[in-house]
Amino acid sequence: LKCPCKAVFYCNAECQRASWEGHRGECVFDLERKLRKDRLRLGERDSAVLGAMLLLGGLYQKQDRLGEAEEKYLELIEIFGPMEGRGGEVVAEVTKSLGKVYQAQGKLDDALEMLKRALRVFRRLHGDEHISVGKALNDIGVILQQKGLLDRAMAKFEQAHEMCCGLFGEDHEIVATVLSNMANVLTLQGKGAEAMPMREKSLDIERRTQGSGVKAIRVATALVNLGSSYLDQGMVEEAQERFEEALGIVRRIHPERNVLEGKFLQHIGMVYSDQGGLEDALAWYKKAHRIFRKTLGPDSAELGALTCDIASTLSKLGKFDEALEKFEEGL
What would the DSSP string read from start to end of 239-265?
A: HHHHHHHHHHHHHHHS-S--HHHHHHH
pLDDT over threshold 90, residue 89: no
- Please give the single-letter amino acid code of residue 151: D
- Please give the single-letter amino acid code of residue 134: G
Q: How far is 9 from 32, CA to CA, in rounded Å?
A: 19
DSSP state of 63: T
pLDDT over threshold 80, residue 127: yes
Number of helices (H), then strands (E), in the chain: 16, 0
Spatial CA neighbour of 314 closest among 263, 260, 269 = 269
Tell me what pLDDT residue 284 has.
94
A 10 A CB-CB count for 111 gives 25
Q: pLDDT (tens digit, 9 = 90+) per residue, 182-203? A: 999 999 999 999 999 999 999 9
Length of the chain: 331
Q: Taking the mean position of all CA atoms in its chain, how far away is CA 148?
A: 19
Q: How far is 111 from 308, CA to CA, in rounded Å?
A: 29
Tell me what pLDDT residue 181 has.
98
Question: Residue 106: is it exposed, middle or buried by C-beta count within 10 angstroms (0-12/13-18/19+)?
Answer: exposed
Q: How far is 309 from 132, CA to CA, in rounded Å?
A: 38
- Asked which of 70-79, 192-201, 250-259 is least confident by mean pLDDT, the reply is 250-259
Q: How far is 199 from 249, CA to CA, in rounded Å?
A: 18
Question: Residue 170: is it exposed, middle or buried by C-beta count within 10 angstroms (0-12/13-18/19+)?
Answer: middle
Residues 6+ apart with CB under 8 A from 88: 80, 121, 125
pLDDT over threshold 90, residue 78: no
pLDDT over threshold 90, residue 297: no
- Overall average pLDDT of the 282-297 stretch: 91
For residue 2, the cross-strand partners are 9
Q: Is the pTM of this model over 0.85?
A: no
Tell me what pLDDT residue 116 has.
97
